[in-house]
Structure 1
Amino acid sequence: MCLTHTLEAASQNEGMPPFAQELLQTINHGATAMAISIGHRLGIFDTMREKSPATAAQWSARTGLNERYIAEWLGAMATAGIVTMDAEGRYVLPNDHADFLGAEAPAGSMSSMMQWIGVLAPVEDEIVKCFREGGGVPYSAYPRFHEVMAEESAGTFDQDATIALVPGLDEQLEEGISVCDVGCGRGRSIIQLAQAYPRSHFTGYDLSTEAIADARRFAAGLPNVEFTVLDCMEMTDRGRFDLVLTFDAIHDQPHPDKLLSNIARSLAPGGVYIAQDIWAHTKVEDNVGHPMGPFIYTVSLMHCMTVSLAQGGVGLGAAWGEEQAISLLQQAGFGSIAMRRLEHDPLNAYYICRS
């Protein structure tokens, strides 16, 4: 049954095969994700929060955005059930939906995640080529990657919850210790820590010149934080740190085993390493039913695995899983490894490691 016949049957209430219904919802959800991303980037959801119902023209005036585009976007949101429309053609964002949409969402922004569709889609042709020829797609091919990654990190990093993973760490930071964020991106996490703990010194390493430039700009005026452009595969002889942090930075490295060994050697006596990384199991069969399984494997296919392969790496992938993570940490020389999950961050696991 072709798509035309399937849709015709649905329009005549003849029903659709269950799998065809699922596929139709997949394309609808994918399209909705793109429209949600646009609404997030333009701040439309934040403007609509707790506002009275309004027509497309009125929402255009409230947002300062083009009326024709607002009208079409509202059509997408209304048919997807994101906003509601009354008999007079006025649209409103329900409060229970607004809790999860927009940069200022009170319950945490889920609209931010939708931006990954736009980040990953432009490299589809290159991924198709990799299927045929091997190799990978470099970081430089991804538009807005560091911007969106920084926004995601801001949503998952909870300073108090992360520091509380290690008893006594708060007191140590208050007194003054040396901290390193490996693969720091735009540096949001350690800038926040540097502001909270002025007696400690913070160092951020990242391969991206662009990301480090942004980090330095965001940290301007903070005397206890510095950022360095560095291939973390080469972070040997860079000094010892009392605390090393990584945030979703291990699984997409070219050689994760080498980086973990470098981190283990970089710890000062008594130091601790906290690794936040994607939570999954190592075996595919154990991830069937994972609430974010399709997303994890697809974002890995489209980014995490392929950027590693582009650097001549092993292509570990985002779904490396806690079993392989613990094995690699043990091989790197960590004798004490504990895995924790944090309530605010369902996507990640947290590994607390000591040599």
Structure 2
Amino acid sequence: MACEIDPVKAEGFAGSLIEMINQGAMSIMISIGHQTGLFDVLAGLEPATSQDIANLSGLHERYVREWLNAMVVGKIIFVDDTSTYYHLPMEHALVLSRKFPGDNIALFAQYIPVIAGVEQQVIHCFKNGGGVPYSEYGRFHEVMAEESGQTIIGALFDHILPLIPGINQKLEKGISVLDIGCGSGRALNQLGEKFPNSVFLGIDLCKEPIEKARKSAEEMGLRNVFFHQADLTSFRLDAEFDLVTAFDAIHDQARPDLVLKAIYNCLKDNGVFLMQDIDASEKVYNNLDHPFGRLLYSISTLHCTTVSLAQGGMGLGTMWGTEQAKRMLKQAGFNKVTENRLPHDLMNCYFVVSKN
């Protein structure tokens, strides 16, 4: 029996699909506006010509003008009826400009061109299996570092650490801390500077961010912060730690189960594991209204899943789910798992985990 087609539904879907494609293109334009600092220049600026904006930005006018026109048709920037004077409303600037730290959504647009850069390689994996390694991702670590600066660094002392009762006093007195998947070490270096009596070790798979972390620690004159490049799946630690942290790092691992078990084994009996990871469900139906759902499943397809599979891993993906996270923590041996949500971070859940 032939399937009847509702022409109204078909036309409506075609229209929404055109809008999706347009919005995808706008994401790249937003990424450019963020990286070039154009949104920062436009925030609070009176209506100005493309030449004025180019001069203030130190950029070439012809490119600036075309970008501005893309922003206008995207209804992000407004222009007068002579198409001469451009203006960014402050209501838009609040979530687009670095002038408003903590509220900048524009930085997330950078993920679109980054993951799009490996599209052909991932399509190859669709057909042949395997995965795409971290080394193919260009600016991914840079974008992650910027995101962590907003969700972690800015909230670390006032909102994140207080989730662990009494941890500030212990850090001031002096304890040992391990950061899993430390990236460029911004969080660890901040902790090392504030708590000179404690000792900090950061571990990451990739060479480039580890080198940046070491350089930053050296420039800050830190003698209590150390970094080591290693594959956490097979790396074994002889030392025991009072506090272990993992900021948006566990789901990316080839074998999160083995990493969590290694964390359990190197954590002191009265120690605490603080894990920040994606706040989503393992069941896609429960994520239909997730504010970042489409972005996160796209990042999962084009980064987190394939990077794990490239290492012969489990390929859990970005949206592995808080349910699975809790199961794996329990399987690793942890008995107490507490979930926390923070108002500044709509994307992540903060798990406070202990052995007892």
TM-score strictly above 0.5: yes
Partner Cα distance (1:26, 1:102) in 2: 24
Q: Please, which of 159, 162, 173 is the counterpart of residue 161 of structure 1?
A: 159
What is aligned with 2:3?
Answer: none
- Tell me what 1:10 maps to: none
Mapped partners of 2:268, 2:175: distance in 1: 10
Q: Secondary structure at the match of 1:299?
A: helix
Q: 8 Å contact 1:102–1:112 — kept in the other structure?
A: no
Task: Work out the CA distance in 1 between the residues paired with 2:230 and 2:129.
Answer: 27
Q: 2:173 aligns with which of 172, 175, 188?
A: 175
Match of 1:110 among 105, 123, 126: 105
Inter-partner Cα distance in structure 1 for 2:102 and 2:338: 29
- Which residue pairs with 2:305 in the alignment? 305
2:244 counterpart of 1:244:
yes
Which residue does the alignment assign to 2:123?
Answer: 128
- CA distance in 2: counterparts of 1:16 and 1:76, whole angstroms: 28
Unaligned 5+ runs, structure 2:
1-7
Separation in 2, partners of 1:208, 1:300: 19
% of aligned pairs identical?
46
| Alignment match, 1:334 | 334
Matched, 1:17 2:28: no
Return the alpha-carbon distance in structure 2 between the equivalents of residues 34 and 350 of structure 1.
Answer: 30
Compute the displacement of 1:104 (Å): 3.3
| 1:176 partner amino acid | G
Q: Does the aligned pair in 1 maintain the 2:102–2:151 contact within 8 Å?
A: no
Give yes or no for contact 2:102–2:150 (8 Å, CA) kept in 1. Answer: no
Output aligned runs, 1:46-61, within 5 Å. Answer: 46-61=40-55
305-314 vs 223-232, which deviates more? 223-232
Give CA-to-partner distance per residue, 1:21-75, whole Å, 9 cap, x none.
2111111111111001001111111111111110111111111110100000000
Q: Which residue of 2 aligns with 1:6?
A: none
- Tell me the amino acid that sits aligned with residue 304 of structure 2: C
Amino acid at match of 2:160: T
* Structure 1 partner of 2:182: 184
Corresponding residue of 2:114: 119
Deviation at 1:280, TM superposition (A): 0.6
The alpha-carbon deviation at position 294 of structure 1 amounts to 1.4
Shift of 1:103: 3.0
SS in 2 for 1:120: helix
Q: How far 1:237 moved relative to its partner?
A: 2.8
Secondary structure of the 2:243 match is strand
List per-residue Cα deviations over 1:176-231 (Å, max 9, x = no partner): 11111100010111111112212211110001111100111111211121111111
Identify the residue that residue 29 of structure 2 maps to in structure 1: 35
Give the whole-Å Cα distance in 1 for the aligned partners of 2:60 and 2:180. Answer: 42
Asked if the contact 1:99–1:107 (Cα under 8 Å) also holds between the matched residues in 2, the reply is: no
C-alpha distance in 1, partners of 2:9/2:51? Answer: 37
Unpaired runs of at least 5, structure 1: 1-13
Q: Distance in 1 between matches of 2:263 and 2:255?
A: 13
| Distance in 1 (alpha carbons) for counterparts of 2:36 and 2:302 | 25
- Give the structure 2 partner of residue 210 of structure 1: 208
SS of aligned partner of 1:39: helix
Residues of 2 paired with 1:177 and 1:255: CA distance? 28
Letter in 2 for 1:155: Q
What secondary structure does 2:196 align onto? coil
Aligned to 1:317: 317
The match for 1:70 is 64
Match of 2:139 among 141, 144, 149: 144
Query: 2:101, 2:150 within 8 Å by CA — same for their partners in 1?
Result: no
Give the stretch that moved more between structures: 97-106 or 31-40: 97-106
Q: Give the TM-score taking structure 1 as reference length.
A: 0.94
1:4-30: per-residue Cα shift (whole Å, max 9, x none)? xxxxxxxxxx99922112111111111
| Distance in 2 separating the partners of 1:287 and 1:100 | 24
Superposed CA deviations along residues 93-148 of structure 1, whole A, max 9, x for unmatched, are: 11111111133334521111000011101111111111111110000111111111
Whole-Å separation in 2 of the counterparts to 1:15 and 1:324: 37
Question: How many residues of Structure 1 are paired with residues of Structure 2 in the alignment?
Answer: 342
Please show how residues 269-308 of structure 1 align to structure 2 within 5 Å.
269-308=269-308
* Cα distance in 2 for residues equivalent to 1:308 and 1:297: 15
Counterpart position of 1:92? 87
**Which residue identity is paired with 1:48?**
L
Q: Is the 8 A contact 1:178 1:243 kept in 2?
A: yes
